[in-house]
Amino acid sequence: MPVPVFMTGFPGFIATSLIKKLHENYSEFEFLCLVQPKFKELAETHLKEIETSVPGLKGRLKLLLGDITETNCALSAEDFLLVTETVQDVWHLAAIYDLAIPRDPAYTVNVVGTRNVLNLISKIKTFKQHFYISTAYVSGNRKGTIYEEELDAGQSFRNYYEETKYLAEIEVKRTVRQYKTTIFRPAITVGDSVTGLTQKFDGPYYPLRTIDKLPKYFAMVQVGSGKNTINLVPVDFLVSAMAFLATKVQGEGKIYHLTDPNPLTQKEILTLFIEKLGKKFILIPLPEFMVNAAMKIPYLSEVLGLPRQTVAYFDHPHRYDCSNTLADLKGSGISVPRFKDYAGKLIDFYHLKKAEFLKKQAMF
């Protein structure tokens, strides 16, 4: 008998990858994917691609038009009945991920949207468990070691994305026991460690793109000491870990940092990109406040392809403890691959899709 799963966030990259992994591991699931009307055409295209590449999923995905920012997620009467009468698992992935987003839209989607999903869960008669995708960056500007059980530690936030995901997690934590919720907090997610596949070139791809467009011999700014780490995980680790922890481990009420226990430093990542792109750069350390000031120069950020909002993440002294994750993944064969071992795959895919990406960018 199929297990109905209600999922938000489709046709996003992580939601799409997660559906494939859940099916690969446990083929009994069928997916009811909430899709905003404006993304209907894109979602239908993704659905066809999934059914073509994974034949076993044919007929096991259904698109439900709606919007998490509205009551009952704006489901039609028919779809509302389908969800509330049949769904067992809820995966809430939908969120605005944009470091430059203003507060109002971020709050509406990330906080009000999460509240609406929780309200919908309360009406599902067949409900069993809830999986909420947060972010490791609910830690805001905290320094030192950050533990999975911690949330409110008096931190402030570098942007409204961090703040509203923190507020959303507060909403979720109020119902953790009631709704048998597992919270996942991913680090910065990059492409697949085997294929390099990704849907967008942001995060660590920003400095990669900058290095790529500069001359072979050049001087490049390093933010601060370069000795602090940047936590990156590939999407295949992320979805494999979530699929395993959700279905094989009694983790209700647990919080998992899906982070790299051995992340590289900013300097190590930049040096790796420089070497793999065949460049000969000198790295020049500059304090963060000077880099931020320089990025305010008109058009400099656009020319470099490096948003000013990312600067705060280059030299922040912190470490994410992932004891829950390591303990509950033990024996599964699932672990974070070394960034050094798959960085080349990310770069290869970037080169493959670079022209297409630049063409789309020029349209906006």
- Say if residues 320 and 187 touch (Cβ distance below 8 Å): yes
Find the mean pLDDT for residues 143-151. Answer: 97
Any idea which of 132-136, 146-150, 309-313 has the lowest mean pLDDT? 309-313
pLDDT at 251: 65
Find the mean pLDDT for residues 132-156. Answer: 97
- Say if residues 294 and 200 touch (Cβ distance below 8 Å): no
pLDDT at 364: 37
Residue with tokens 């698109």: 63
Tens digits of per-residue pLDDT, 224-268? Answer: 999 999 999 999 999 999 999 998 876 678 999 999 999 999 999
At 86, the pLDDT band (50, 70, 90 cuts) reads very high
Tens digits of per-residue pLDDT, 97-120? Answer: 999 999 999 999 999 999 999 999
Tens digits of per-residue pLDDT, 199-227? Answer: 989 999 999 999 999 999 999 999 999 99
d(CA 108, CA 130): 21
Mean of pLDDT over the chain: 94
d(CA 243, CA 26): 9
pLDDT at 308: 87
Residues 6+ away with beta carbon under 8 Å from 87 = 4, 5, 6, 32, 124, 126, 127
Pick the closest to residue 184 from 112, 100, 252 (CA basis).
Answer: 252
d(CA 98, CA 332): 33
pLDDT at 297: 86
**Would strands 129-133 and 181-186 be described as parallel, antiparallel, or unpaired?**
parallel
Helix 266-276 to helix 339-362 angle (10° resolution) is: 70
Residue 266 in tokens:
């900013």
Domains defined for the chain, CATH in brackets: 3-186 (3.40.50.720), 193-230+264-317+339-357 (no CATH)
pLDDT at 253: 81
* Percentage of the chain exceeding pLDDT 90: 87
pLDDT at 222: 94
Tens digits of per-residue pLDDT, 30-51? Answer: 999 999 999 999 999 999 999 9
d(CA 82, CA 61): 14
At 357, the pLDDT band (50, 70, 90 cuts) reads low
- Say if residues 98 and 38 touch (Cβ distance below 8 Å): no
Residue 39 in tokens:
């993304």
C-alpha 57: how far from its chain's center? 23
C-alpha 354: how far from its chain's center? 21
Which residue would you say has higher pLDDT here, 176 or 305?
176
The three-state (H, E, C) secondary structure of the chain, written as one string = CCEEEEEECCCCHHHHHHHHHHHHHCCCEEEEEEECHHHHHHHHHHHHHHHHHCHHHCCCEEEEECCCCCHHHHCCHHHHHHHHHHCCEEEECCCCCCCCCCHHHHHHHHHHHHHHHHHHHCCCCCCCEEEEECCHHHHCCCCEEECCCCCCCCCCCCCHHHHHHHHHHHHHHCCCCCCCEEEEEECEEECCCCCCCCCCCCCCHHHHHHHHHCCCEEEEEEECCCCCECCEEEHHHHHHHHHHHHHHCCCCCCEEEECCCCCCEHHHHHHHHHHHCCCEEEEEEECHHHHHHHHCCCCHHHHHCCCHHHHHHCCCCEEECCHHHHHHHCCCCCCCCCHHHHHHHHHHHHHHHHHHHHHHHHCC
> In terms of residues, how long is the chain?
364
Find the mean pLDDT for residues 341-354. Answer: 94
Tens digits of per-residue pLDDT, 6-25? Answer: 999 999 999 999 999 999 98
Adjacency order of strands within the sheet including 129-133: 61-65, 29-35, 3-8, 89-92, 129-133, 181-186, 255-258
Residues 6+ away with beta carbon under 8 Å from 134 = 165, 168, 169, 172, 183, 184, 185
Pick the closest to residue 96 from 77, 78, 84, 112 (CA basis).
Answer: 112
- pTM of the full predicted structure? 0.95
Residue 363 has pLDDT above 70, yes or no: no
